[in-house]
């Protein structure tokens, strides 16, 4: 089958054509980063306007690049949530219009299921598996017992890890989005400023990054007040080691407890070199295969939405034209077939 997918949950306008849930024929992504940079973060109102401006062109490009005709499409998959409501609505309306005009089914997709199933575009998945979702808005450990059967066993109680990266970067005067800059600085450090780790209760798979973030901000402010030079690289390394240590330790404990046959790294923070390296080593030691998507499939893109939409296609679970954008959307409910 040929799925056309649309993703507009945050600040990337994306459309993709994917065949049989695995072969990417096109995956066009238009990022708004340059626009939001000067504000130090995504401005929702501007994001939705930009989606409106780009949507048609991106859809046309995706179809043209794939070399297919609109009438050959089997269904349209669209990110239904979670995300910014104004942004989601643009993609949802575009997808509905196309599904209506072409008289083909519409599939609502959970954005995080997309991040997880980006890995299905890389290699075949074996269940049960564990997904470590680390993105700008989410930090979760998801036990996937079988295809599309999600159970969130741990989540952040405050900041998402990507969000903490962005806030720390901002305090250090680095550009938005800060994750890649902190990552780079950490690799250049010659000394680590050791920072605390939030382990929470012994048996908990939850995360907390706001205390760590505050520790960095306090050090930056202290140095500034004393008129000292801020050791940005040392702080970046300390921050990165703390986040990576907690993420890797909890993910590996979860893999052991749930007997996971694969560990999937998902979301924008999967681009982090420290995290990739440490997880790679831990998985090799545990004899568990680690699956990490290439950079282009880690951050928001529509091919991953097609990959997750493919699950619903196989089950024949389609949404009607009454499909609503869901800014707060439960992954577990979506997997269980509520569309």
The correct pick among 140, 183, 192, 326 for binding ligand ATP (CB under 6 A) is 183
Strands (E), 114-206: 129-134, 139-144, 150-155
Compute how many other C-beta atoms are within 10 angstroms of the C-beta atom of residue 175.
Answer: 13
Under DSSP, is residue 216 helix (H, G, I), strand (E, B) or coil?
A: helix
**C-alpha closest to that of 148 among 325, 317, 327, 319:** 317
Range 266-305, binding Mg ion (CB under 5 A):
300
Cα–Cα distance, 195 to 184 (Å, whole number): 18
Binding residues for ligand ATP restricted to 20-39, rule: CB under 6 A: none
Q: Is the CB of 131 or the CB of 233 nearer to Fe ion? A: 131
271 binds, among ligand ATP, Mg ion, Fe ion, none (CB under 5 to 8 A by kind): ligand ATP
Min CB(134)–Fe ion separation in Å: 10
Q: Is 296 annotated as a binding residue?
A: no
Q: How far is the CB of 301 from Mg ion (least distance, A)?
A: 10
Q: At CA 178, angle to CA 172 and CA 181, rounded to 5?
A: 80
299 binds ligand ATP (CB under 6 A): yes
Task: Decide if 323 contacts 80 (C-beta within 8 A).
Answer: yes
The single residue among 6, 10, 104, 236 that binds ligand ATP, judged by CB under 6 A, is 10
Omega prior to 123 cis, within 30 of 0? no
Min separation Cβ 115 and Fe ion, Å:
6
Residue 339 and residue 336: Cα distance in Å, rounded? 9
Q: Which stretch binds ligand ATP (CB under 6 A): 18-26, 117-125, 171-179, 231-239?
A: 171-179
Residue 272 interacts with which of Mg ion, ligand ATP, Fe ion, none, CB < 5 to 8 Å by class:
ligand ATP
How many angstroms separate the Cα of 9 from the Cα of each of 15, 44, 170, 232? 12, 10, 23, 32
Q: Which of 139, 10, 25 is nearest to 74 (CA)?
A: 25
State yes or no: residue 10 binds Mg ion (CB under 5 A). Answer: yes
Residue 104 or residue 110: which is nearer to ligand ATP going by CB? 110
Q: What helix, strand, coil percent values describe the chain, rounded to 5?
A: 50, 20, 30
Q: What minimum distance in Å lies between the beta carbon of 70 and ligand ATP?
A: 28
Shortest spacing between CB 297 and Mg ion, in angstroms: 13
Does position 180 interact with ligand ATP (CB under 6 A)? The reply is yes
Q: Residues in contact with ligand ATP, total (CB under 6 A)?
A: 24
Residue 179 marked as a ligand binder: yes
Q: Which of residues 53-112 bind ligand ATP (CB under 6 A)?
A: 83, 111
Does residue 300 touch Fe ion according to CB under 5 A? yes
Contact 108, 337 (CB under 8 A): no
CA dihedral 152→131→148→67, nearest 10 degrees, is 140
Asked whether position 50 contacts ligand ATP by CB under 6 A, the answer is no
Q: Is 300 in the site for ligand ATP (CB under 6 A)?
A: yes
- Of 36, 96, 110, 138, which lies in the binding site for ligand ATP, with binding defined by CB under 6 A? 138
Cα 173 from Cα 288, distance rounded (Å): 39
Residue 142's SS3 state is strand
Task: Choose from Mg ion, ligand ATP, Fe ion, none: what does 181 bind? Cβ within 5-8 Å by kind.
Answer: none
Residue ranges at the known binding site for substrate: 133-137, 166, 179, 183, 272
Write out the residues near ligand ATP by the rule CB under 6 A. 9-10, 83, 111, 115, 135-138, 162, 165-166, 177-180, 183, 267-269, 271-272, 299-300
Write out the residues near Fe ion by the rule CB under 5 A. 135, 300
């Amino acid at each position: 089958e040929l799925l056309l997918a649309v993703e507009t949950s945050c600040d990337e306008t994306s459309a993709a054509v994917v065949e049989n849930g695995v072969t990417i024929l096109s995956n066009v992504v238009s990022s708004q980063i340059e626009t939001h940079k000067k504000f130090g973060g995504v401005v929702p109102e501007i994001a939705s306007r930009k989606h409106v401006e780009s949507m048609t062109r991106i859809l046309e490009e995706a179809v043209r690049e794939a070399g297919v005709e609109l009438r050959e499409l089997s269904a349209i998959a669209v990110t239904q949530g979670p995300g910014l409501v104004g942004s989601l609505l643009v993609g949802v309306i575009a997808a509905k219009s196309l599904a209506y005009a072409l008289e083909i089914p519409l599939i609502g997709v959970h954005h995080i299921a997309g991040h997880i199933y980006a890995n299905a575009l890389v290699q075949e998945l074996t269940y049960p598996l564990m997904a470590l979702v680390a993105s700008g808005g989410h930090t979760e450990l998801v036990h996937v017992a079988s295809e599309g059967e999600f159970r969130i066993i741990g989540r952040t109680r405050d900041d998402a890890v990507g969000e903490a990266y962005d806030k720390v970067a901002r305090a250090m005067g680095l550009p938005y989005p800060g994750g890649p800059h902190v990552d780079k600085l950490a690799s250049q450090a010659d000394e680590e400023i050791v920072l605390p780790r939030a382990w929470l209760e012994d048996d908990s798979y939850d995360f907390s990054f706001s205390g760590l973030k505050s520790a960095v901000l306090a050090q930056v402010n202290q140095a500034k007040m004393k008129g000292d030079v801020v050791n940005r690289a040392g702080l970046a390394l300390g921050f990165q080691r703390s986040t990576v240590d907690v993420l890797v330790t909890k993910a590996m404990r979860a893999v052991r407890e749930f007997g996971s046959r694969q560990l999937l790294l998902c979301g924008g923070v999967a681009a982090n070199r420290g995290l990739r390296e440490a997880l790679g080593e831990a998985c090799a030691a545990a004899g568990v295969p680690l699956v990490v998507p290439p950079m282009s499939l880690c951050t928001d893109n529509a091919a991953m939405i097609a990959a997750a939409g493919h699950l619903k296609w196989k089950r024949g679970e389609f949404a009607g034209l009454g499909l609503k954008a869901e800014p707060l959307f439960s992954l577990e409910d979506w997997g269980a077939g509520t569309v």
